[in-house]
Structure 1
Amino acid sequence: MIKTTALLLVGLLYSAVTVSQSPSDLFISEYVEGSSYNKYIEIFNGTGESVDLSNYEIHVFTNGNGDLENPSGKVTFDAMLAENSVYVVGHSSADIYSSPNLMDGSLNFNGDDAVCLYKISEDKYLDVIGCIGMDPGSRWEFGDLKTVDKTLIRKAAINCGALITDNENDFHTLGSEWTQLAKDDVSNLGKHTLGNVTSISGARETISLKVSPNPVSDRLFIETSGKIDGIKVFNFAGKEVLSQNSQIKETVDVSALPQGFYLIAVKLYDGTVRSLKFVKR
């Protein structure tokens, strides 16, 4: 992973619930640090279009781990998230919420661990809960707000995630961007309010996409349940290295690419973009 210097974005706090513009990307809308393995993270899509979650990961940094190239835990996805919808991930042993979209044992964190939403194609952390590289003891806190034995909900006026620089040296955005519920309270999980609009609970789309062979030496074959409009290939620095109109063919010649890891993004005629990682050998 290439380390990225993130731009500074400051979330504004309003007394009236008003949002001036739609989010430009996904962010974490709820955090549950409950009893035992009852850990949940909710991701919200308010971008105006369906988003391919395979381009995103949740990274966990435990015990002050600050190595961006080696997070302590990693959760990957293979699903589409519809506009104005949320996606709930829970630990594989969590049992207080009945309908998570995904359960994964890698989502294992305590109140003193940083939990982050990472975007693969941009090599960028879109949202950071806590502070990467800091061990605060048992928790971060601001007034009555705490990251241990609590549920945190993103305020309705917040329309973007907190970047690494927003929470550098401490969890600075805890007080300005979050509200709090009691331990093991999942009554708000599965929905999120942005401005005055509440998301559809747990809605998501599934559009199949397969590429083969993987690893590949020359020609990459694409199979999908949707009608393809265009294809782009990015290296893991986020640079576009190949593009083609799929009306001609549904194979991609990658023979000229150097060996390494790549992301292929397939745009469908309904406007959604589906992506997968592949290896060029």
Structure 2
Amino acid sequence: MKLFKSLFFCLAMLCNSLSSQIFFSEYAEGSSYNKYIEIYNYSSESISLQDYKLLSCTNGCIGGNNVYGNDFPEDALLEPGQVYLIAATQADQQILNEADYTFQYCCGNGDDAYALIPSNLFEDNVFDVENVLDLIGGPDTWQEGVGWDVAGVEQATENHTLIRKSSVSSGNAGNWSLSSGTNSDDSEWIVLDQDDFSNIGFHNYDGSNSSDIFGCMCEEASNYMPTATEDDGSCIVDNGCSDPMALNYSGFLCNSAEFINENCQYEIIDIYGCYWCDLAVNYFDFNYQMTDVSMTIAISDISDLINGDIVGVFYVSEEGYIKCGGASEYDGAQNITIAAWGDDPSSAIIDGFQSGDSFIFLILREGVVYTSNSLLSNTESFSNTYTDNNFGQVLQLSISNEFIEDCLLPLGVSEDCNEFFDLSEYNLDNKIILNVDLLGRAIHIGYQGFGFSIYTNGVVEKKYFSNH
């Protein structure tokens, strides 16, 4: 007889060990009938819940009273990494939408204990803590109308939602005291407010024995998880923006999100330039100065380009005018690459991009300059502003409108871009009567930059002043 009992005990323990691949992942004691219990399968195999019972002890189970072994439906199959939700029949529709099984008296009032137990170890009218896989509440510490403390929160099993931490790798095998803990650090549970159902229908599991809660941390995402402490890359954002340079940037917590219908909005930069008159103070073309440093920009979206288009990348000069820092002609290839040239610090003037400068893309098509809308990648491998010897990627490039020119014509140049004076009449005997800057203001001692000298015979000469 002793041998038989020992063999039965060993088989029972083996069964318990093999069956401990499921545990309670969530418990909610909400308002009215908004109550549910969630079970998670952390194994790699499908598990038939018919092999288990949901053991309950309502209103105390002293002397075997009020102990129930609730059966699961015949087709209750819990797939690996999935949850099975048991809810009250009259629960809110949000809960019922996720529920796999409902019954009228689920799931207590906060002072009722629940456990998972293999069916072959269940005995009528016995709440056998030693054989349960997982336990919520302590039958031996039951008090009528009083919930159990969890994570330092008094009576947390009443009027709260409990979430199992992602680090928990198995059920508590009946040790509710160890599982509930005394504070937020040593507890296996996270206590949320009543009627917080934000985690219903899924469970984040890593079995790492850490306190991290994995989920979507981007607040703009449709699947945002307020309790998450570690982003798992699952965020889905509709109509947001991943570009930090945009006015409606979704934030760094959304950097790993999948963006649907991305819609970035940018501050409109007033750019001044004149392409048609090469005598204008703010004249620009698509020629550029090559220096010792540059940044390579690949344009992967060429859907708006046609053969012969010249794409130029521009920066804003000290005077507030646009200057070309690199350009490339599209020849029908699958992408186009532009070298954006950096400033040469050894020269007296700024002749290229400086660190942190934004990129302005203009397109020259059949002699007409067009503005564009562009979206640059901001992933770890690329920069969306200028950096020496770095890489950039234009994800979207579309032609916008014809460039509106605002030509600033210097003294001596008419509105049709003709000079008033013939410089061939210039005479070295003439004397300078006035030096002015590009805006026609008198130049004073210490001025450095381009300007004009006006001579006694009316000739105007453009020159560079260095510490005049």
Q: What TM-score, normalized to structure 2?
A: 0.35
- In the alignment of these two chains, the number of paired residues is 178
Q: Which residue of 2 aligns with 1:51?
A: 47
Between 84-93 and 121-130, report the one with greater CA deviation. 121-130
Is 1:37 the counterpart of 2:22? The answer is: no
Q: Which residue of 1 aligns with 2:168?
A: 158
Alignment of 1:173-184 (within 5 A): 173-175=179-181, 176-184=187-195
Contact 1:73 1:107 in 2 (8 A): no
Contact 1:112 1:140 in 2 (8 A): yes
Instruction: Look up the equivalent residue of 1:174 and give its one-letter code.
Output: S
Aligned-partner Cα distance in 2 for 1:46–1:148: 27
Aligned-partner Cα distance in 2 for 1:172–1:36: 30
Name the CA shift for 1:185/1:119 in 2 (closer, same or farther; >3 Å).
same
**Residues 152-187 of structure 1 deviation map (CA, whole Å, 9 limit, x = unaligned):** 0111111111223x13xxx44212210011101111
Aligned-partner Cα distance in 2 for 1:44–1:189: 12
What percentage of residue pairs aligned between the two structures are identical?
Answer: 36
Aligned-partner Cα distance in 1 for 2:149–2:214: 27
Q: Which residue of 2 aligns with 1:92?
A: 89
**Residues 10-42 of structure 1 deviation map (CA, whole Å, 9 limit, x = unaligned):** xxxxxxxxxxxxx94110100001111211000
Give the superposition deviation at 1:66.
4.2
**Residues 259-278 of structure 1 deviation map (CA, whole Å, 9 limit, x = unaligned):** xxxxxxxxxxxxxxxxxxxx
Give the superposition deviation at 1:85.
0.6
Name the CA shift for 1:182/1:70 in 2 (closer, same or farther; >3 Å).
closer
Give the superposition deviation at 1:112.
1.1
Contact 1:60 1:114 in 2 (8 A): yes
Instruction: Look up the equivalent residue of 2:67 and give its one-letter code.
Output: P
Aligned-partner Cα distance in 2 for 1:56–1:46: 16
Structure 2: which 5+ runs fail to align? 1-8, 14-18, 123-130, 182-186, 208-212, 216-468
Instruction: Look up the equivalent residue of 1:34 and give its one-letter code.
Output: G
Aligned-partner Cα distance in 1 for 2:25–2:103: 18
Aligned-partner Cα distance in 1 for 2:194–2:90: 17
SS of corresponding position for 2:132: strand
Structure 1: which 5+ runs fail to align? 8-22, 200-281
SS of corresponding position for 1:57: strand
Contact 2:53 2:69 in 1 (8 A): no
Name the CA shift for 1:63/1:133 in 2 (closer, same or farther; >3 Å).
farther
Contact 2:26 2:39 in 1 (8 A): yes
Is 1:129 the counterpart of 2:140? The answer is: no
SS of corresponding position for 2:50: helix
Aligned-partner Cα distance in 2 for 1:104–1:37: 11
Q: What TM-score, normalized to structure 1?
A: 0.56
Q: Which residue of 1 aligns with 2:106?
A: 107
Is 1:144 the counterpart of 2:144? The answer is: no
Q: Which residue of 1 aligns with 2:201?
A: 190
Question: Aligned Cα RMSD in Å?
Answer: 3.0
Aligned-partner Cα distance in 2 for 1:67–1:172: 25
Q: Which residue of 2 aligns with 1:116?
A: 115
Aligned-partner Cα distance in 1 for 2:65–2:80: 31
Contact 2:116 2:135 in 1 (8 A): yes
Name the CA shift for 1:75/1:186 in 2 (closer, same or farther; >3 Å).
farther
Contact 1:59 1:115 in 2 (8 A): yes
Give the superposition deviation at 1:99.
2.1
SS of corresponding position for 1:121: helix
Alignment of 1:57-68 (within 5 A): 57-66=53-62
SS of corresponding position for 1:151: strand
